A and B are shown apart, each in its own frame.
Chain A
């Protein structure tokens, strides 16, 4: 079963538009962590945010904001006033512990293109 689903394969917007990347996760655990990563065209993976399952406060960092809702098992990422440099593939990930094993599962990624 897919643990992390990023239904939007590709999104294309014009610069300065706001854009939201969706992430829906599946877990039976009450304790888990969620992450977002950015992969720019250069290929490296850049950590953006970590959120634990007990902290449902939304977070804002500059033009980036994250909306965590346990009721809908979603952890969405919004970029406000998008810029060309935001063009990248974005991955949502889930960290859960099960029977002593610790797994980090990624979604398929959303390719975001910001057009000038």
Chain B
């Protein structure tokens, strides 16, 4: 089954404790990205990757890191989480069509609470 898998689904952590949210896709998509969803703000792109070892900042990259060592995986790293990073996070993947990301397949979401 084609899917994007994020883990964990729910996470409560304390300020400053490093954490990683994993994301894996089995569709051989080139393009992967991370979003955070906050009330009234829609989905905002954190980082994206157009292929292995190619990553770039989205609109809200501060406080986040990513890596793309393998095509299927795109983990999101919070080195020192803060309460303002409490949010619902989505990972997504897409094919690139003529250089453009096509429709995104989304993971189930990770609800992160930083206390």
Contacts and interface: CB of A to CB of B under 8 A. Distances in A.
Interface of A: 6, 9, 31-33, 35, 37, 43-45, 47, 50, 91, 93, 95-97, 101-109
Interface of B: 31, 33, 35, 40-45, 48, 50, 56, 58-59, 88, 90, 92, 94, 96, 98-106, 108-109
Given A31-B100, A47-B104, A95-B101, A104 B45 contact: yes
A47 B105 contact: yes
A102 B43 contact: no
In this complex, the member of B40, B44, B59, B104 whose beta carbon has the largest number of chain A beta carbons within 10 angstroms is: B104
B19 to A, nearest CB: 20
Given A44-B106, A104-B94, 14 more contacts: A9-B40, A35-B104, A43-B88, A43-B108, A91-B42, A96-B100, A101-B50, A102-B48, A102-B50, A103-B58, A104-B48, A104-B92, A106-B43, A107-B42
Main SS class of interface, B: strand
A43 B109 contact: yes
Contacts of A44: 106, 108-109
